[in-house]
Amino acid sequence: MTEATSSIDRPQNADACNGRRIFAVVVTFNPDIATFKTLLGQTHDQVEQIVVVDNGSRKECTAQLSRLCAGYATLCLLPDNIGIAAAQNRGVERARAAGATDVLLLDHDSVPTSGMVSALAAASGELCASGESVAAVGPLIVERQTQIVAPVPQILEGQVQFHLPSGTAPVRCEYLIAAGTLIPIHAFQTVGPMNEAYFVDQVDVEWCLRAGAAGLGVYCVPRARLDHAIGDEVVGFWMFGWRQLAVHSPLRDYYYFRNSLRLMFSGHAAPPWRRFWTRRLLRLLVLQTMFVPPRWRRLRAMVSGAWAAIAERCLTRGIS
């Protein structure tokens, strides 16, 4: 598979955090150009270099990306969509080869707030200095459409619970959304790369659970914030009161169901997570089939994804 690449030379950023060489790795796929331009502007002064890996966007989009990245970022154009996990791995390898000590993962629609990277790097350094084994640190996520701050997942009293941190100190959590996550390069040597078989959805959760199994922790840093769109849109519906649900395309429903069941079948998911995903998948199956068009396409996608994971499980266990 061939790649088209454009690159730049940049001096090391003075704010690159105590001798660290922090590179941003941004994965794009037909991004909103205005949001991507804002992302570049907000990220440029917070890291040493930006590596943009485009996952087979339309030609008119890649032309705009090339124009915007000139002087701001190294652009790697992939001819096809190979999935977010594989694209992240390509970007991390490129950053590693260029001498990065840490990578900041970003999606094309995630915009760091001012000072986010320095806050993450400082927290990571403090945690390491206190003897913690750190796989990654990440910001609080502010959902762009609703301006709601996403809570942090933890297992408390044998149950998966989501809470907002009450202070400013880093909080150990079960996983971080990949967007905004700062990962030391050496963590990949311990945990391994992103799981490319997942393609998209639950890639970040799977990596974080693997990190936990390897004895490394992931931490949310409350004083760092990231503006991010969770889902393609937020749908409102009535069920014993008005509720909101962030939704993706039916194709993403397929991957979410398949990969969630893969996680449930894996050795890295603790019983509380298996119980949580069972409830969540059933809830999504009901709500999306009832309230989120195109209903039958979504139903087929969710059932197909679940069946694909079950079939894989049977095959690995030799069940016919």
**Domains (ranges, CATH) in the chain?**
4-228 (3.90.550.10), 233-316 (no CATH)
Our measurement of the distance from residue 211's CA atom to the centroid of its chain's CA atoms, rounded to an integer in Å, reads 15
Average pLDDT score, the chain:
91
- β-bridge mates for residue 74, sequence order: 51
**Any long-range contacts for 294-298 (C-beta under 8 Å, 24+ apart)?**
294/250, 297/250, 298/250, 298/253
- Beta strand pairing status for 22-28 and 49-55? parallel
- pLDDT given for residue 226 in this prediction: 97
> How many H-runs (helices) and E-runs (strands) does the chain carry?
9, 14
**Any long-range contacts for 295-301 (C-beta under 8 Å, 24+ apart)?**
297/250, 298/250, 298/253, 300/250, 301/250, 301/251, 301/253, 301/254, 301/257
Query: What is this structure's pTM?
Result: 0.91
Q: How far apart are CA 220 and CA 20, in angstroms?
A: 20
Structure confidence by residue, pLDDT tens digits, 197-251: 999 999 999 999 999 999 999 999 999 999 998 777 767 766 666 777 778 899 9
Structure confidence by residue, pLDDT tens digits, 266-290: 989 999 999 999 999 999 999 999 9
Q: How far apart are CA 69 and CA 320, in angstroms?
A: 51
Nearest residue to 22 via CA among 42, 43, 7, 53: 43
Tell me how far apart the terminal alpha carbons of the chain are, to the nearest angstrom. 35
Low-confidence stretches of the chain (pLDDT < 70) are: 1-18, 234, 237-241, 318-320
Q: How far apart are CA 201 and CA 113, in angstroms?
A: 24
